[in-house]
Structures are given as C-alpha cells and as structure tokens.
C-alpha cells in the first residue's frame, strides 16, 4: 500500500481489512481471469477511494459497533472495485501497455477478455453494494458512475482536437476523477448517518481534492519518469489529450507547439512537445491551480466537526498535492 497513510495507523489497519475483503470477493475459481484481475487490484494502488469512504464514515455519530464498521469496509471494497474496473477499461481506451509497473490486462489477454474482466469487477462491486449498502448509496453510486462514463466519452470525442479550453478540461476531470473522490466521502458519511450539512461539505471537499489529484496526475505525465510513475510518461500527448499543462503552454507559445500537434504522434514529436511545455513554465502554473483546489478543500475541512477523520482528511489532501507518483 502507499505511504500516504503512514501517519494514520488506524486507517492503515482498516484498509488492510478492506484488502482482505477484496481478496475474498475476487477469489472465484469459476472465473477464468480471476487471479490475473486480482493481481491488478493488489498491484500497489493507493487505496484512496476506500480510504475516503472510511474517513467519511468517521463523521457519523460516535459509538458504532463492529458490525457497522464491517458494512463500511464492504462498501469501501465496492468503490475500489469500481475504480479498478474503470482502470481496466481506461487502459484499453488509452492503449496503455503498462499500469502500476506491470503489463495491462488487455496486453496479456486481449481486448475482449480485458473488457469482460472489467465488467466482472463491476459485477463483484454491484454484489457488495446490493448486500451491504443502503438504497440511497446505491442510487448515488449509479448516478456517479453514469457521470464518469459521460466524462470519458466527452474526453474521447475531443482527442486530437487539442482544444485550449480550460473550462472544458475542468469539466472532464470533475466527471472522470473528482466525482469518485466526492462520492467516496459522501457515501461513507451517509452510511454512518452523519449530519446532512456535513455530508454536503464532505462532498465538496472530495470534489476539490479529486480535482487537485487529477491535475497533479496530468502534470506528472509531463515531468515524471516511467520508473517513478510506474506507467509511461508522455502518454497523454500520444493519445491526443490536451490536459492542463498543454492548455496553459499553448497560451504562452502556440506558434512552436501547434505545428507539432497532430497525427501521427511519434516519439520525436512527443519529446519536443514535452520540452516546449516545460520551457513555458506551464507546469508551475498548473501546480498552482492544483494548490488552489487543495486550499479550498482545506478551508472546508477546517469547518468540519473535530474527530480523528478530520486530521486524516487534512493529511491526505496535503500528501496528494505533494505526491510524485
């Protein structure tokens, strides 16, 4: 697991229990790719979304018994399965050969089987939701998953258009990433019967942390290296995606960049684009936009009622801004 939770032993222990449930849920000798799919789930993901479900539940009334903790852990596992399923499908869409340092499912087993393995992960998630979540949470989950699909389609339709609209970029990342962070805190808090105003505030906080998270992700695609990131850098440009660094760089040096933006996108063009984007200072500017989202999240967190989960959320928002992978 990531070291983001190293200062929160309570959370670390609970995430271990979620991992135990994931292992149990994915043990299915009847499903041909169960072991390969399980390896992906246990390939060192950050477990952020399940952690957010648990953190959200920490804002509920005190005195809950182990049975309600168990319910939260199952829902946290369900959210991680939705996330992993979306990554399996995302890697097919992005034609990514490597994820978390290992080859992707479609590289090893072909696109058809990877699509079906992703669907199988969804089906495991639905089962957990049906068995453990309130109807209200199931409804929220269904709505958000629909939104993620819509955002992904919007992103795909814009590929190789290299549009410079910051607003449309922010809308896309809100749908594809921030929504699941927001949902995780919301569902955790709602299942724990937190105050509706607190639930609302957590939803906004999750949104802001998720926005900062995706902006950092998009920056790392320009400035990290394959080994640290455990996936190839420059993949967004290769896929024709115009993320925040490129949007900001285009505003500064469109005449150098524009002629390079088009198909086919070869390695020479990609390294030239990376070089120009870095030279414009667009990465620092993108980072300051991420910082603004984190600062907004911090203001929201400060106003939340005092409890251990509050500090965990504060730590997570800072660690996710500073992360290098």
Name the site residues for ligand FPP (rule: CB under 6 A): 82, 86, 89-90, 93-94, 145, 148-149, 152, 176-177, 217
Binding-site string for Mg ion from residue 236 to residue 265, where x marks contact by CB under 5 A and - marks none = ------------------------------
Helix (H, G, I), strand (E, B) or coil at 102: strand
- The single residue among 19, 80, 94, 191 that binds Mg ion, judged by CB under 5 A, is 94
Name the residue number minimizing CB distance to Mg ion. Answer: 94
Exposure of 127 by Cβ count < 10 A (0-12 exposed, 13-18 middle, 19+ buried)? middle
Our CA angle for 90, 95, 101, nearest 5°, is 80
Minimum gap (Å) between residue 214 Cβ and ligand FPP: 7
**Cβ distance to ligand FPP smaller for residue 19 or 94:** 94
86 binds, among Mg ion, ligand FPP, none (CB under 5 to 8 A by kind): ligand FPP
Residue 98 host element (H or E): strand 98-99
Segment near Mg ion (CB under 5 A); pick from 18-26, 85-93, 182-190, 298-306: 85-93
Evaluate whether 182 touches 147 at the Cβ level (below 8 Å).
no
**Cβ distance to ligand FPP smaller for residue 26 or 148:** 148
CA end-to-end span of the chain: 13
176 binds, among ligand FPP, Mg ion, none (CB under 5 to 8 A by kind): ligand FPP
Q: Is 90 in the site for Mg ion (CB under 5 A)?
A: yes
Strand partners, 103: 98
The DSSP-derived string for 140-204 is: HHHHHHHHHHHHHHHHHHTTTT----HHHHHHHHIIIIIHHHHHHHHHHHHHTT--HHHHHHHHH
**Cβ distance to ligand FPP smaller for residue 237 or 304:** 237
**Cβ distance to ligand FPP smaller for residue 80 or 94:** 94
> What's the longest Cα–Cα distance across the chain?
63
Under the rule (CB under 5 A), what is the footprint of Mg ion? 90, 94
């Amino acid at each position: 697991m990531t070291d983001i939770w190293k200062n929160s032993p309570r959370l670390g222990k609970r995430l271990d229990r979620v991992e135990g449930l994931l292992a149990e849920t994915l043990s299915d000798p009847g499903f041909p790719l169960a072991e390969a799919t399980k390896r992906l789930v246990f390939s060192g993901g950050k477990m952020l979304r399940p952690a957010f479900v648990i953190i959200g539940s920490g804002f509920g009334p005190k005195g809950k018994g182990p049975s309600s903790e168990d319910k939260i852990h199952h829902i946290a596992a369900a959210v991680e399965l939705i996330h992993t399923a979306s990554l399996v499908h995302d890697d097919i869409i992005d034609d990514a050969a490597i994820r978390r340092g290992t080859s992707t499912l479609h590289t090893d087993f072909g696109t058809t089987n990877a699509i079906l393995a992703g669907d199988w992960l969804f089906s495991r998630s639905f089962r957990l939701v049906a068995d453990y979540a309130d109807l209200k949470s199931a409804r929220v989950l269904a709505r958000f998953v629909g939104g993620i699909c819509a955002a992904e389609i919007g992103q795909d339709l814009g590929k190789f258009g290299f549009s410079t609209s910051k607003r449309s970029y922010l809308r896309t990342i809100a749908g594809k990433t921030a929504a699941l962070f927001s949902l995780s805190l919301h569902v955790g808090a709602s299942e724990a019967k937190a105050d509706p105003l607190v639930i609302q505030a957590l939803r906004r906080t999750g949104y802001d942390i998720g926005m900062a998270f995706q902006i950092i992700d998009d920056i790392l695609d320009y400035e990290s290296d394959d080994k640290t990131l455990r996936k190839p850098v420059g993949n967004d440009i290769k896929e024709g995606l115009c993320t925040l660094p490129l949007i900001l760089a285009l505003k500064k040096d469109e005449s150098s960049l524009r002629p390079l933006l088009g198909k086919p996108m070869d390695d020479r063009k990609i390294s030239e684009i990376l070089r120009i984007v870095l030279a414009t200072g667009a990465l620092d500017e993108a980072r300051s936009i991420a910082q603004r989202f984190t600062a907004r999240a911090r203001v929201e967190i400060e106003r939340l009622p005092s409890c251990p989960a509050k500090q965990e959320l504060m730590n997570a928002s800072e660690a996710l801004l500073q992360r290098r992978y």
